[in-house]
Chains A and B, each alone.
Chain A
Amino acid sequence: MSEGFSLGVFTTIVRPEEKAILAAAEARGIAVQRIDDGETTFGLDRPPGLPDVVLNRSVSHTRSLYATRFYAHYGVPTVNTAEVTELAGDKILTSLRLRARGIPTPRTVVALSPEAAIRAIEEIGYPAVLKPAVGSWGRLMAKVDNLEAAEQILEHKAALTSPVHSVIYVQEYVRKPDRDLRVFVVGDEVVAAMYRRSSDWRTNAARGATTEAAEVSPELRDLSLRAATAVGGGVLAVDLMEAPSGLVVHEVNPTPEFKALSAATGADIAGRIVDYAVAVGRR
């Protein structure tokens, strides 16, 4: 049934998510080309033997950005597209798009130098949350309670040589319950949702948050689909918080993990991703 068709799976490492994706493709009789993002090279002309669609599972934002651009140049569709990867992989660009589409999101101020960051933090007010514009799993995030703490964090950031750390993304600290929501969107459907609960203010599953299935209310479904559509749609995990004013979207992840979500909900997320990627490849 899938004769001649092949699915490219572009990876940095193979985690349980990628293993589940490979198994789901095999179960469907779909030929898979595994592409290692640290091994492959890209020329300016389309090489022979490319797959019909590439599912990007690289954990590197930089590699994802360039690879999806090259595949688009070769005429090979990717999941997600280069545009979605660029937008959703950068918190600043995501915030801009969410605001442009009228999707509730925490108050955010960006400073382009550590020197300007104090003003950004004071504009937001204490406590404020500092995040890197790129990267996730809660790494290098800081909750800043006062000016003294802000100055110390910014001093550290100024000492880091990468220009990436000179850009400071400051967000209001949302007084939420000890949990947030992760909603997994594939195409125009919500596949599964869960609460992530933690005594730490960061509720990333990668930081040891506990998880439980969440009921998808019409409001949650609508907001999640709107957020996914806002960044261009595809396979996306929308992270939301229950703010006193209602649900707010704080992140949209373009190469989401789903091991914890599958375990909490029983949803066959790997299968849904493969089916979606194949459908994109056959368009």
Chain B
Amino acid sequence: MTNCPECEATVLHHDKIPGEVFPCTDCGTELEVLKTDPFAVQPAPKEAEDWGE
């Protein structure tokens, strides 16, 4: 486990993989998995103008 860089809540590894984006369950900040061993997260990249489907 690690901590949310925004609110410091505990973030659990579960079955997450590098690059995976998920919301912090406490503050809702979108986080991105940086690495899994040791588990580390960072704020997810911000949505850019040309992002979409």
Question: Do A and B form a real pair?
Answer: yes
**Residue B40 lies at the interface, judged by CB distance under 8 Å to chain A:** no
A22 and B44 CA atoms in complex are apart in Å by: 20
Q: A134, B50: Cβ atoms under 8 Å?
A: yes
Q: A13, B32: Cβ atoms under 8 Å?
A: yes
Given A61-B50, A137-B53, list of 7 further CB < 8 A pairs? A13-B32, A14-B19, A34-B18, A132-B49, A134-B50, A136-B52, A256-B53
**Residue B21 lies at the interface, judged by CB distance under 8 Å to chain A:** yes
Collect the chain A residues with CB atoms within 8 Å of residue B20's CB: 13-15, 19
Which 7 pairs of residues, A with B, have the shortest CB-CB distance? A136-B52, A253-B53, A14-B19, A61-B50, A14-B20, A13-B21, A59-B51
Query: Chain A CB within 10 Å — which of B18, B19, B33, B47 has the most?
Result: B19
B12-53 CB mask vs A (1 if < 8 Å, else 0) is 000001111100000000001100000000001101111111
Collect the chain A residues with CB atoms within 8 Å of residue B21's CB: 13-15
A257 and B49 CA atoms in complex are apart in Å by: 17
**Residue A36 lies at the interface, judged by CB distance under 8 Å to chain B:** yes
User: Which of B17, B18, B45 meets A12, CB within 8 Å?
Assistant: B45
Please classify how large the interface on chain A is, using the bins under 10, 10 to 19, 20 to 34, 35 or more: 20 to 34
Q: A60, B19: Cβ atoms under 8 Å?
A: no
8 Å CB contacts to B: which residues of A37-65?
Answer: 38, 59-62
Please classify how large the interface on chain B is, using the bins under 10, 10 to 19, 20 to 34, 35 or more: 10 to 19
Collect the chain A residues with CB atoms within 8 Å of residue B47's CB: 139
Main secondary structure of the interface of A (DSSP, over half): loop
Collect the chain B residues with CB atoms within 8 Å of residue A89's CB: 52
**Residue A108 lies at the interface, judged by CB distance under 8 Å to chain B:** no
Q: A13, B19: Cβ atoms under 8 Å?
A: yes
How close is B24's CB to chain A, nearest CB, in angstroms?
Answer: 15
Q: A14, B50: Cβ atoms under 8 Å?
A: no
A96 and B4 CA atoms in complex are apart in Å by: 46
User: Which of A13, A164, A253, A257 meets B44, CB within 8 Å?
Assistant: A13
**Residue A8 lies at the interface, judged by CB distance under 8 Å to chain B:** no
Collect the chain B residues with CB atoms within 8 Å of residue A61's CB: 50-52
Query: Chain A CB within 10 Å — which of B18, B21, B48, B52 has the most?
Result: B52
Q: A137, B49: Cβ atoms under 8 Å?
A: no
A36 and B45 CA atoms in complex are apart in Å by: 13
A162 and B49 CA atoms in complex are apart in Å by: 10
Collect the chain A residues with CB atoms within 8 Å of residue B50's CB: 60-62, 134-135, 164
A219-262 CB mask vs B (1 if < 8 Å, else 0) is 00000000000000000010000000000000001111100000
CB-CB under 8 A for A38 and B51, given A13-B21, A14-B19: no
**Residue A166 lies at the interface, judged by CB distance under 8 Å to chain B:** no
